[in-house]
């Protein structure tokens, strides 16, 4: 089959392209915004990329057009596909029908931590000899690629997928994850997000309830017991087994942290082993609990999972060190929601102690651009010594609200910019040896990380 993917450079659709090619299909695709790591990953796989959505692409005559949710009505190529009655489907539906069918699917859902937890789970299964396929919304450093069909020439029965609650396509407003039909599902956390498509938290809880409805009776849910929202989801109906993690007391999966950052893992009060690794933050410890519990469902002993996590190398753009110049360290992180921002900055604070943190933020997600959570930004950045905000003047990433006003509760330590080079110069002027510059965005941010490093070197 020849498939042509519209919106191929998104993390999900780019991963789909890799899977399709590995499965033996001919794959081409197009997008309007092309930047690493996805563009370089696709090119390395020999997948042809076309810039833009020109109708001349119809001459490729694919068997099927696979449509990403970045595509909306008015897109010239999509309009002509509709006009001519050509066959099309969504990315999640294609994955469900052509990749996940007859697989033991392990899906990781939640507002935060999906990518990291999926990466942990895939790595545990790899170390256990399961050699799973996976589709993850980032690049796990242990694998160096965001998607693969299987880890060996012989097809694996197991597939780990990051299960996103965002809608599927302009013609299918259900959450992506309803197409995956997992046998093992992690519900990591749940709070309000995606203000562009969900009116409130209750609407997202309904989508998670729909996911729970697809888990068979022989399946298992791994649920964060600290989240009242998830307790409400489970209360609406649960037809398979469920295990809770993160709650106090003897039942379920719990942990005890040590001063050196390691932590004990307990199941129903019995110690399973100690995770000794370099990752920081309670959120990552909870991610680890969830991945250990999910791996146990497919037969991986917790002790083996714990050993595997000691070799886990995290994910690109998750507190990734991009460079050190003049004893100034520049990090890249995907944080784009106030809760994730607070967790990231707080984790770095615990790591660096009293050293200065310069937080550089681009509120680029659809939720942030709408201003729904702008009032929560100052509180999420309190652990930073200086804050530099960036909002584009115009274009699709332009903010509909005043970033400087939103950051004003932070006083003189916060400033806002609408021009990238001015932002970089302000950061470099403020930076001192020993500082930690933490860049947070869910996009390419104009290559600001390298711009900062280059300017520091000069």
The CATH label, of 3.40.1190.10, 3.90.1580.10, 3.90.800.10, 3.20.20.70, for the domain at 100-309 is 3.40.1190.10
- Residues 249-260 have a mean pLDDT of 86
Q: Is the pLDDT of residue 372 over 80?
A: no
How far is Cα 126 from Cα 307, in angstroms, rounded to an integer? Answer: 12
In this predicted model, which residue has the larger pLDDT, 373 or 69?
A: 69
Percentage of the chain with pLDDT > 90? 69
Q: Is the pLDDT of residue 441 over 70?
A: yes
- Residues 276-301 have a mean pLDDT of 93
Listed residue (275, 278, 271) closest to 291, CA to CA: 275
Q: Is the pLDDT of residue 284 over 70?
A: yes
Q: Which of 28-37, 175-184, 318-327 has the highest mean pLDDT?
A: 175-184
- Residues 390-412 have a mean pLDDT of 83
- Residues 363-381 have a mean pLDDT of 81
Reported confidence tier of residue 399, pLDDT bands at 50, 70, 90: confident
Reported confidence tier of residue 347, pLDDT bands at 50, 70, 90: confident
Reported confidence tier of residue 436, pLDDT bands at 50, 70, 90: very high
CA dihedral in degrees (157, 210, 66, 39; nearest 10)? Answer: -70
How far is Cα 28 from Cα 25, in angstroms, rounded to an integer? Answer: 10
Q: What is the pLDDT of residue 391?
A: 85
- Residues 421-449 have a mean pLDDT of 91
Q: What is the pLDDT of residue 4?
A: 98
Q: What would the DSSP string read from start to end of 50-74? A: EES--GGGGGG--SEEEE-TT--TT
Percentage of the chain with pLDDT > 70? 97
Domain boundaries, the chain: 2-89, 100-309, 320-457
* Residue 122 burial class via C-beta count within 10 angstroms: exposed 0-12, middle 13-18, buried 19 and up: buried
List of long-range contacts for 271-279, beta carbons under 8 Å, 24+ apart: 272/302, 272/303, 272/306, 273/302, 273/303, 273/306, 273/307, 274/306, 275/306, 275/309, 275/310, 276/310, 277/309, 277/310, 277/312, 279/312, 279/314
Q: Is the pLDDT of residue 315 over 90?
A: no
Q: Is the pLDDT of residue 269 over 80?
A: yes
Lowest mean pLDDT among 218-227, 314-323, 389-398: 389-398
Identify whether the C-beta of residue 42 lies closer than 8 Å to the C-beta of residue 8.
yes
Joined tokens for residue 145: 């690629």
Reported confidence tier of residue 139, pLDDT bands at 50, 70, 90: confident
In this predicted model, which residue has the larger pLDDT, 444 or 362?
A: 362
Q: What is the pLDDT of residue 46?
A: 87
The CATH label, of 3.90.190.20, 3.40.1080.20, 2.30.30.240, 3.30.450.20, for the domain at 320-457 is 3.90.190.20
Q: Is the pLDDT of residue 451 over 80?
A: yes
Beta bridge partners of 330: 323, 437
Q: Is the pLDDT of residue 409 over 80?
A: yes
Query: Superfamily assignment of 2-89 in CATH?
Result: NAD(P)-binding Rossmann-like Domain (3.40.50.720)
Q: Is the pLDDT of residue 343 over 90?
A: no
Reported confidence tier of residue 154, pLDDT bands at 50, 70, 90: low
Q: Is the pLDDT of residue 336 over 80?
A: no
First to last CA, the chain: 52
How far is Cα 248 from Cα 246, in angstroms, rounded to an integer? Answer: 7
Stretch (H or E) spanning 109:
strand 104-109
Q: Which residues contact 456 (CB under 8 A, 6 or more apart)?
A: 325, 326, 328, 330, 428, 431
* Residue 129 burial class via C-beta count within 10 angstroms: exposed 0-12, middle 13-18, buried 19 and up: exposed
- Residues 248-270 have a mean pLDDT of 88
Mean pLDDT over each residue of the chain, to the nearest integer:
91
- Residues 52-70 have a mean pLDDT of 97
Q: What is the pLDDT of residue 251?
A: 75
Reported confidence tier of residue 103, pLDDT bands at 50, 70, 90: very high
Q: Is the pLDDT of residue 153 over 60?
A: no
- Residues 209-220 have a mean pLDDT of 97
């Amino acid at each position: 089959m020849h498939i042509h993917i519209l919106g191929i450079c998104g993390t999900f659709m780019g991963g789909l392209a890799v899977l399709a090619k590995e499965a033996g299909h001919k794959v081409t695709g197009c997008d309007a915004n092309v930047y690493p790591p996805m563009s370089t990953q696709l090119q390395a796989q020999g997948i042809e990329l076309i810039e833009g959505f020109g109708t001349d692409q119809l001459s490729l005559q694919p068997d099927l057009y696979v449509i990403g949710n970045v595509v909306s009505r008015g897109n010239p190529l999509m309009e002509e596909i509709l006009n001519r009655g050509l066959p099309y489907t969504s990315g999640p539906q294609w994955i469900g029908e052509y990749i996940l069918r007859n697989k033991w699917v392990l899906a990781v859902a939640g507002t935060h931590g999906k990518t990291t937890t999926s990466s942990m789970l895939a790595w545990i299964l790899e170390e256990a000899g399961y050699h799973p396929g996976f589709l993850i919304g980032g690049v796990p450093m242990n694998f160096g690629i965001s998607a693969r069909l299987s880890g060996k020439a012989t097809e694996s029965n197991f597939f780990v997928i990051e299960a996103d609650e965002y809608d599927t396509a302009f013609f299918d407003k259900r959450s992506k994850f309803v197409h995956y039909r997992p046998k093992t599902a992690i519900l990591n956390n749940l709070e309000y997000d995606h203000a562009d498509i969900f009116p409130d938290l209750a609407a997202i809880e309904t989508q998670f309830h729909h996911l729970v409805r697809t888990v068979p009776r022989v399946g298992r849910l791994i649920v964060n017991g600290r989240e009242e929202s998830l307790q409400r989801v489970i209360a609406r109906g649960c037809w398979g087994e469920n295990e809770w993690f993160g709650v106090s007391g003897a039942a379920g999966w719990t942990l005890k942290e040590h001063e050196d950052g390691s932590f004990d893992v307990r199941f129903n009060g019995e110690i399973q082993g100690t995770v000794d690794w370099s990752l920081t933050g309670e959120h990552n410890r909870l991610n680890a609990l969830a991945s250990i519990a999910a791996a146990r469902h497919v037969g991986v002993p917790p002790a083996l999972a714990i050993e595997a996590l000691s070799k886990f190398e995290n994910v690109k753009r998750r507190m990734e060190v991009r460079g050190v110049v003049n004893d100034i360290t520049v990090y890249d992180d995907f944080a784009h929601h106030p809760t994730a921002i607070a967790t990231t900055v707080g984790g770095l604070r615990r790591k660096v102690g009293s050293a200065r943190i310069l937080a550089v933020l681009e509120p680029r997600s659809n939720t942030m651009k709408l201003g729904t959570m702008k009032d929560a930004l100052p509180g999420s950045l309190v652990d930073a010594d200086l804050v530099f905000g960036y909002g584009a003047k115009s274009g699709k990433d332009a903010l509909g609200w005043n970033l400087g006003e939103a950051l004003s509760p932070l006083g003189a330590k916060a400033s806002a910019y609408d021009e990238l080079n001015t932002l970089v110069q302000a950061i470099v002027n403020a930076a001192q040896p020993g500082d930690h510059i933490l860049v947070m965005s869910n996009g390419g941010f104009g290559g600001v990380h390298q711009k900062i490093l280059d300017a520091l070197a000069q």
